[in-house]
Structure 1
Amino acid sequence: MSERGTALLEASGPARRAARPDPPRRGPAALALGLLRTARPRQWVKNTLVVAAPAAAGELASLETARQLGLVFVLFTAAASAVYLVNDARDADADRAHPVKRRRPVAAGTVPVPLAYAVGALLGLAATAAAAVLCNPMTAALLTGYLGMQLAYCVRLKHVLVVDLAVVTTGFLMRAMIGGVALGIPLSRWFLITTGFGALFMVAAKRYSEAVQLASHKGATRALLTEYTTGYLRFVWQLAAGVAVLGYCLWALESGGTANGSLLPWRQLSVIAFILAVLRYAVFADRGTAGAPEDVVLRDRPIAVIGLAWAAMYGMAVADL
């Protein structure tokens, strides 16, 4: 071998060793942290949707309401975490081909696959058992239905065209329903339409972004992205956004003008903030950068400001100010 070849080989050896990933840590602390990360604490913010129905009905004033909603939030978080653990255990091989998901603890080897299955099963059983004991029958049934549907999604439904979008959307809708169900609050048809199609808008926008960003190796990361076209996913999120806006407008206008001496028709005026929020979110969807909904909502300051303005107007409508 020439001197130049020997030098290149010697130089490449340390580079290869430096590029090689460190072996996963398996100590108790690393396992506990890995399990916590697999439970997706950042996504627990989605479970705050349990207050949506009571807030829309103006039923957040009492301590008993707060206690019940807190309990429902914890139970739904446990059920969702169980699903995340099972999902990551099943998808470990596919996640290793994803530029971001390969860092998940199960895919990286920090959390063994059997342990992820075991902890997921325990969390799921604990959540359903606690719901049966501590909540009314409809709440327990809804939580159990959510868990069963999401596990079916992990096993099979994520591979069925269109059904995968419907299942993820229904998961968001169940979050929004369960608070009203727990408190015995009737759910408005417009509330269900707006929430359901708003969720479909965000789910389809996320799929569209994945299809745009991972076009070169999408089959290895999410199998159904080879079946969807970007044109179809764009059509879905645009249709869903339109129906969500229409549903919200009908919901807001259903109450008529000002009520009980209110200075302004706050409920109707909140339509402006709602449409602005949809338009702002659509910017990210159109660019193909609408990833996880909680990331878009929490990181974009204009959406946060619009959301606060909407909450203020809707709050004043509920309080008849």
Structure 2
Amino acid sequence: MDVLSPQIPRTQAPVPARVPARERIAGLWRLLRPQQWVKSLFVVPIGVLGVTEWSLGTAAGVGWALALFVVASSAVYVVNDILDREADRAHPVKRSRPIASGRVSIRAAALLAAGLLLVAAALLAARTVQDAWPAGTYLVINAAYTLGLKRVAVVDIAVVASGFALRYVQGAIAAEGEVSVLLALTIFAACLMFAAGKRRHEIGVAGSAHRPALAGYSIPFLDQLIGLAVVTTLLAYALHVQAAFSPGVPGTLLLVSVPLVVAILVRYLQLILVRQQGGDPSKDIAADRVTIFLGGLTGVLLVLGTVLP
């Protein structure tokens, strides 16, 4: 893994004569990436699967973890958009982002990021270090990502994937449930697959100039990495099911979820390798009815197999 820094063509930022207040507000809202909040809404609540005794504290804990990761992830997005504005202008899609397009000033974006970080700090301060270390770790590694790790091939997508595993762990701790290392590994490996698929799509669409780390990748290498992530996801999930298995209906439901996970992984491979998708995993999955059906059914089986006596 090498730190690679090819020269990125610099283009003059568009400077609109006047940006209407409504457009500025809409641009600030876009900087928060609200469409990405669904990631936390799906991953953080997985932590309740390890809860044995339910209470109001369980719901409050999950709500706190959700709010914290929504705010923290938005702050990370804003800071990255500020620092990546020149590279974004060289990308056919990202150049329309609020800062890169000139619709939101750097000063306004910086104030927004500072406000989000203050809110995140307040939420972190509401819990002890033992209860909030996953979210704190998320902020630390993303700061390192912003300052340089995003330029290191493989490390960049590993950081992205670890953020989702940390979401799950934080949800489990906040809900006072048991953390499954195998389930955390499943989430990490699956998200590594998504991130590698995104890098594959980026190389195919815009080459490697707009993102320094892309120079450390190639399509064949990413295909191998995606295959490794798929196998790891399946093995980790199967081992998680084995560890949680018990005779009866719950155990049977968990076992049935395993081939469904296989089907989900195969479907995603089809989307990125055959249909050449993967540029926005969240959008691609949300638009694919097969994946939604399989994922929803798997989630129901996993919940029932965990909570039923």
Do Structure 1 and Structure 2 share a fold, with TM-score over 0.5?
A: yes
Report the residue type matching 1:117 in the other structure: A
Which stretches in structure 1 are left out of the alignment for 5+ residues?
1-20
**Contact between 1:124 and 1:147, CA under 8 Å: does it hold in 2?**
no
Give the match for residue 286 of structure 1. Answer: 273
Cα separation, partners in 2 of 1:130 and 1:263, compared to 1, 3 Å: closer
Per the alignment, residue 233 of structure 2 pairs with 244
Question: 1:59, 1:25 → 2: CA distance?
Answer: 57
Among candidates 204, 217, 229, match of residue 218 of structure 2: 229
Displacement, 1:176?
A: 1.5
Pair 1:265 & 2:258 matched: no
**Structure 2 residue runs without a partner (length 5+):** 1-13
Give runs of aligned pairs for residues 1-321 of structure 1, distance below 5 A: 23=16, 25-48=18-41, 49-54=43-48, 56-58=49-51, 61-133=54-126, 135-215=127-207, 218-219=208-209, 221-259=210-248, 262=249, 265-287=252-274, 288-320=276-308
2: CA distance, partners of 1:210 / 1:250: 33
Note the alpha carbon deviations across 1:182-225, whole angstroms, 9 max, x for none: 1232212211221111111111111111112223xx31x21221
Which structure has the bigger radius of gyration?
A: 1
Could you list the structure 1 runs, at least 4 aligned residues long, displaced by more than 4 angstroms after superposition.
58-61
Equivalent pairs counted in the alignment come to: 294
Q: Measured at CA, do residues 268 and 161 of structure 1 come closer, stay the same or move farther in structure 2, by a change above 3 Å?
A: same
- How many percent identity over aligned positions? 32
Equivalent residue letter for 1:178: Q
CA contact (8 A) 1:173 1:195 kept: yes
Q: Deviations over 1:90-122 (max 9, x none)?
A: 111111111111111111111101221221122
The code of the aligned residue for 1:80 comes to S
The DSSP-based 3-state class of the residue aligned with 1:45 is helix
| 1:127 Cα deviation from its structure 2 partner | 0.5
If asked which structure has higher relative contact order (CA below 8 Å, sep 6+), I would say 2
User: Greater shift after overlay, 80-89 or 118-127?
Assistant: 118-127
TM-score for the superposition, normalised by structure 2:
0.88
Change (3 A) 1:25 1:146: farther
Instruction: Supply the AA of the counterpart residue of 1:131.
Output: L
Task: Give the Å deviation of 1:307.
Answer: 1.1
Find the aligned partners of 1:113 and 1:200 in 2 and give their Cα distance: 31
1:266-314 CA distances to partner (integer Å, 9 max, x unpaired)?
A: 1111101111111111112213311222112211110011012112222
What TM-score do you get using the length of structure 1 for normalisation? 0.85
